[in-house]
Amino acid sequence: MAGKLRERPFEGTLAGALAGKPDSNPTFYWLGQAGFVVDIAGRRLVIDPYLSDSLAMKYRGTRYPHQRMMPPPIEPAELIGVDYALCTHAHTDHMDPGTLPALFAANPAATLIAPRAVRAAALERSGLPESRIRFVDAGEALDLGDDLRVIPTRAAHETIERDMHGNHRFLGFLIKGPDVTLWHSGDTIPFDGQVEEVSPHRPDIALLPVNGRRPELSSQGVPGNLTLSEAVELTRAIGASSMIAHHYGLFDFNTIEPELIDSMAQSANDINLCRARQAIAFEWALT
């Protein structure tokens, strides 16, 4: 059955919006940067939550001080009802030692899903025992019950990197529920085989980073992502009907103007292009 992504503004705080059980319809909330709360198949997943100032403390006084342009929409301990937290890779704005321990303390039954290639970082930053972490590599599907499946995919940030055992350091996640399939690509640029890897899963929604890449940042150890136009073309190529643009608006040296995303949404009328925004729930409604 077909569906459509629609935006639903909510009043009050994100903590208030998440206070009850997961929404019955597949629903997504933006945490900033690449972070999302995903309510699907009666479960609550959190992807790449960065809800602290870890990077501002780490890079204070440097060329790129990582000062927030927007405050965290929620405190880590207020993220309740979480069944799984997924981290796409070990960069701090995706696997945050200032967020994960409080999140897992508030959700003592929650499990972390993380790349096997960054096992040591996942253990250290989450504070979890290994029994509460599921380490994965690209293509290793996880059945989470209740018609919910997670399939890791490769990502290239800006290159595909592997550890000494061949495990990928950067991943995306296909999340397949009974009514919708979404793909969070992780931090990535286009690469050979990407479309062929993802498109057979027939994703409905693509959650894609659009901050682009610049040589002056890459040379300083700040790898980039898809440009906005590349993200739109990738959405088309994998056959998704909707795209949520994210990974912008947090650090002033590594972002894109939201007006550019809005303009692209007006011109790319063959797909439903939305800009991730706070105080907005994105719902997948069956039609």
Q: Is the CB of residue 176 less than 8 Å from the CB of residue 149?
A: yes
Q: Is residue 159 part of a domain?
A: yes
CATH number at residue 115: 3.60.15.10
Instruction: Give per-residue pLDDT as tens, 174-227.
Output: 999 999 999 999 999 999 999 999 999 999 999 999 999 999 999 998 999 999
- Phi/psi for 117 (5° steps) reads -65, -20
Instruction: Write out pLDDT tens, residues 81-118.
Output: 999 999 999 999 999 999 999 999 999 999 999 999 99
Q: What is the pLDDT of residue 286?
A: 85
The domain tally of the chain equals: 1
Domain extent at residue 95: 24-275
- E strands present in the chain: 3-9, 27-32, 35-40, 43-47, 84-86, 111-115, 133-136, 142-145, 148-154, 171-176, 181-184, 205-209, 242-246, 272-275, 280-286
The tens digit of pLDDT for each residue in 131-147 reads 999 999 999 999 998 79
The answer to whether residue 1 scores a pLDDT higher than 60 is no
In a domain, 282, yes or no: no
Residue 243 near residue 231 (C-beta atoms within 8 A) = yes
